[in-house]
Chains A and B, each alone.
Chain A
Amino acid sequence: MASSSVVKEAKVLMVGAGGIGCELLKTLALSGFPDIHIIDMDTIEVSNLNRQFLFRQYHVGQSKAKVARDAVLKFRPHINITPYHANVKDPEFNVDFFKQFNVVLNGLDNLDARRHVNRLCLAANVPLVESGTTGFLGQVTVHVKGRTECYECHPKPAPKTYPVCTITSTPSKFVHCIVWAKDLLFAKLFGDKNQDNDLNVRSSDAAASSENVEDVFERRKDEDIDQYRRKIFDHVFGYNIELALSNEETWKNRNRPKPIYSKDVLSDELTQQNGNLEKNYASDDELSVSAMVSLGMKNPQDIWSLRENSKIFIEALKLFFMKREKEIGHLSFDKDDQLAVEFVTAAANIRAASFGIPLHSLFEAKGIAGNIVHAVATTNAVIAGLIVIEAIKVLQNDMENYRMTYCLEHPSRKMLLMPVDPFEPNKSCYVCSETPLSLEINTNRSKLKDFVEKIVKAKLGMTLPLIMCASNLLYEAGDVEKDFIKIYEANLEKVLSELPTPVTGGTMLTVEDMLQEFVCNINIKHREEFDEEKEPDGMVLSGWTQPVSAVDNKDKSIGNGASTSNALVTAAESEKDDEIAIVSAVKKRKLLDDSDSSNAADEVKHHKQLQVIDDEDDLVLLDGEVDSFKKRRLS
């Protein structure tokens, strides 16, 4: 391929040195790219080694960017690779930094960083090649300012969320039990006590008197641990189910759950277990404390019986209080915390048994609870190859031939790798066009703080925002003079209409991120009332492409992520693992045969006329939709 001249002059930035990153760095180096900069804040983990082939066991704990550089220099010693063990959102990576590159290549694992890089590329006017994989699926897209859509022109699939009542009272799938075990029960027992939680905390004794609101989960001083753990077990799997059953309305068209009490499933187990516990006391490493070890259970692929799950539950609870008491009140679920995974697996399984839902192994439960993304080396290698092919076209300014390419698991129109024409920029995209947004808000009740948190940060994805009304500064984050800090802090606590420059209906606010060099205007519309269930933010932003949520019930809902209780989980950071897929695949309805639909391409996304590149039949216009492959959480 006649690419050598542009390649030899090119200076490229890679963001991410993970699954796609390792493959990409290798392929760039082999293709003759002489000057590559690479940013990644992560360190190497054992579960990376099956596909991030530049890393070895002895690199575990070291910087991905640095180790990747050294590994590639071994077979291409004469090129320049500059590694940064840092977060791409750090201020050093500003627009001027981005301007030095001919093209930016993303191999990222989360929406938040992708949006950030998108804005910097737009501001610096540097083309971006974006990518993502999950399992056998992947995609590569090209974003060139003014020519093709930007990364944020169209909504991305948001993490799945579930209505609260499904989680608290009517689970029908195993994932509902996992969310309950992790976000409610685990959080209640071991997490921050001040956090909102939808679990019923009133015990059966307390229910009688409305005055007594004692929290059953609070372990009283000197309360015997055996007594306490049985009480918790009976409360969450027994009493709370009985309570739910008493609401006949709920069960008219549903199978009634079965309460489970510790005496039925554990009988005399408790005393026997105490002996084995000693095994765990020999170990000092907190993360290696394990209920499976105390109970002599080895295989994470086994599906435990109800009795085994109950034993694990009661054992894990004890181990938390005996071995990790200091952490209680500060814990949040971590997929690499063995005891936490054991506890959540057992709790989810007991609940599943209660509701007649099939039980799952620890391995499977960990995948669901940890949102572990499926990843294989082959897809990453293919996607990296496709990124380099697009990058070369971008360097050649070969606009006609830019393609967005999907890597499919099952062929569509005989194709496993399917190129389509890139989309045009969305004219009403608030990121790459100058279209203002509009915000309905109660200007007499909402504080500037609420606006900053719920809109500017959560929805607009800004890191270092600055807010102006006309030419008056209302707020600025980051390094500001002392005098101003005071003024801004005071402003944050004021309702909008009482700010030094009052913000009322008809006002236009300008919000700017200094780092992203991204500005947008927001027209304010005053509105008195909001529906607490449907509009829990107390404000409604429009003109903004909301991440498409998989939930059809727009009521208060819970995501399988860190947050509980608080409404629809907004996009972004439920993924901390590799290669989250923002995979959407192009499909024509007619072609979607049965084997294709097993991809779970079941969410219809934005409607578009797609042109499939086809030199044989000229251009075939598809009247189809862009379906999005749902991230499969379970194989």
Chain B
Amino acid sequence: MDGDGEELTAQETALYDRQIRVWGADAQRRLSKAHVLVYGMKGTVAEFCKNIVLAGVGSLTLVDDRVATEEAFAANFLIPPDENVYSGKTLAELCCNSLKDFNPMVRVSVERGDLSIFDLEFFSKFDVVVVSCCSLSAKKLANDKCRKLSKRIAFYAVDCRDSCGEIFVDLQDYKYSKKKRDETIECDLKYPSLEDALSVPWSELPRRMSKLYFAMRVIEKFEEAEGRSAGEVSIADLSGVLKLKKELCTAQALNESRVPDALLERLVTNATEFPPVCAVIGGILGQEVIKSISAKGDPVKNFFFFDAFDGKGIIEDISSK
């Protein structure tokens, strides 16, 4: 087993005492050897980073070359709102400085560059890749690169808009163990890529599918068609978004009521993150990443949705049958 023969230090045992009691010393050792890449430093990802730095991953690499603006720290507690501090620095650099402080045992560093230009060798350095605030095509490309490597990389895409959040998970061919009563049983799950998951025809999806799934796809398509960057929509776009929804529903043979206009309106009106939702989504994502690194416990397959309006946190399995 991974990590055998290497004991946790007394310092680690003292610091991680309460969580070792949740997931065990073996999982803690695996965590301390895991390398995590995150792309796109908004509030939700900031929450996630805090969670896994506290949990004690081996290293965390941040990428986000955007320079800090007022808007950038709306939901991000890692960026000090002092212009003297943030001016001229990138979001990744600012977040890195704060995160380092949370846990001296975790190496936090910054890489520069656009998600699309990173090559296979770059991705091969990581065990977990989390992408956010980027176009659908950039997400798909990064997901494909992760899948090309012989080593299995856990891939996550995450975004929050207003009171809603979404997590996509691709663990490829994933083996793990779970406790069932007093027994430990081995499980095996096969995940589709982002491309494959999104190409499942809507008419094939179960009737009780989360409305948020469709709504997020409509907005995503709208941004793509209009050449917008992620999150760059406003109430002025509502009529365009509703028109696109009609078209997509017709093309996919989905009853339009499955994608409520009110929900779309909410998502375009305020694209900025709502901090409590960042905390919820960043928390669930942190937990999922910890599960996949330690190969313990049922992971989400393969979407998670949360809407603060109804308070439900729902798992949907969207893969072709």
Contact = CB atoms under 8 A, between A and B. Distances in A.
A378 B23 CA distance: 13
Which are the 10 A-B pairs with shortest beta-carbon distances? A417-B313, A385-B279, A419-B311, A382-B283, A30-B275, A381-B283, A385-B280, A385-B276, A388-B276, A375-B18
A377 B55 contact: yes
Contact of B312 (A75, A410, A417): A417
Contacts of A76: 77, 81
Contact of B79 (A51, A75, A373): A75
Nearest to A19: B18
A635 interface: yes
Contacts of A375: 18-19, 22
Given A27-B276, A50-B54, A76-B81, A419 B22 contact: no
B283 A379 contact: yes
Contact of A47 (B14, B274, B300, B314): B14
B310 A379 contact: no
B286 A381 contact: yes
Contacts of B304: 416
A635 B19 CA distance: 10
A300 B283 CA distance: 30
Interface string B226-237: 000000000000
B270 interface: yes
A616 B7 CA distance: 50
A619 B277 CA distance: 25
Contacts of A268: none
Interface in B271-321: 274-280, 282-284, 286-287, 290, 297-298, 300, 304, 306, 308, 310-316
A49 interface: yes
Contact of A378 (B7, B21, B78, B287): B287
B276 A415 contact: no
A198 B89 CA distance: 67
Contact of A50 (B17, B82, B315): B17
A403 B312 CA distance: 10
Contacts of A57: 104
The listed residue with most B CB atoms (<10 A of its CB), out of A29, A372, A379, is A379
Interface stretch (B43-51, B141-149, B193-201): B43-51
Given A300-B13, A301-B25, A417-B313, A594 B181 contact: yes
Given A50-B55, A385-B278, A594-B180, A376 B22 contact: yes
A417 B306 CA distance: 8
Interface of A: 1, 23, 26-27, 29-31, 46-47, 49-51, 53, 56-57, 72, 74-77, 135-136, 298-301, 363, 367, 372-382, 384-386, 388-389, 392, 403, 405, 407, 409-411, 414-419, 578, 594-595, 597-598, 613, 615-617, 635
B270 A1 contact: yes
Interface in B74-109: 74-75, 77-82, 101-104
A26 to B, nearest CB: 6
A31 B276 contact: yes
B81 A595 contact: no
Interface of B: 7-8, 10, 13-25, 43, 47, 50-51, 54-56, 73-75, 77-82, 101-104, 162-163, 178-181, 207-208, 270, 274-280, 282-284, 286-287, 290, 297-298, 300, 304, 306, 308, 310-316
Contacts of B181: 594, 597-598
A415 B18 contact: no
15 contacts: A47-B14, A49-B103, A50-B15, A77-B81, A301-B8, A373-B18, A374-B18, A376-B19, A377-B51, A377-B283, A382-B280, A386-B276, A416-B313, A418-B312, A635-B22
A53 B102 contact: yes
A127 B180 CA distance: 40
B290 A613 contact: no
A416 B163 CA distance: 17
Nearest to A55: B102
A415 B286 contact: no
B290 to A, nearest CB: 7
A381 B22 contact: no
A414 B16 CA distance: 31
Given A363-B25, A417-B306, A595-B178, 9 more contacts: A1-B162, A31-B274, A31-B275, A50-B16, A381-B286, A382-B284, A385-B279, A416-B284, A598-B180
A389 B180 contact: no
A588 B297 CA distance: 22
Given A27-B279, A379-B283, A598-B179, A405 B290 contact: no
Contacts of A53: 50, 54, 102
Nearest to A384: B279
A378 B17 contact: no
Contacts of B47: 381
A389 B284 contact: no
Contact of A389 (B24, B276, B282): B276
A334 B51 CA distance: 30
B311 A389 contact: yes
A30 B51 contact: no
A348 B47 CA distance: 42
Contacts of A416: 284, 300, 304, 313-315
Contacts of B14: 46-47
Contacts of B306: 417
Contacts of B207: 616
Contacts of B50: 53, 377, 381
A410 B316 CA distance: 14
Contacts of B20: 363
Nearest to B21: A374
A208 B279 CA distance: 68
A31 B312 CA distance: 20
B287 A1 contact: no
Contact of B280 (A372, A386, A635): A386
A374 B13 CA distance: 14
A540 B287 CA distance: 46
Contacts of B270: 1
Contacts of A380: 283
Given A50-B19, A635-B21, A378 B275 contact: no
A294 B151 CA distance: 46
A174 to B, nearest CB: 14
Q: Which of B81, B179, B270, B311 has the most CB of A within 10 A?
A: B311
A373 B21 CA distance: 8
A378 B283 CA distance: 4
A415 B312 contact: yes
B203 to A, nearest CB: 17
A429 to B, nearest CB: 25
Contacts of A49: 15, 103
Contacts of B8: 301
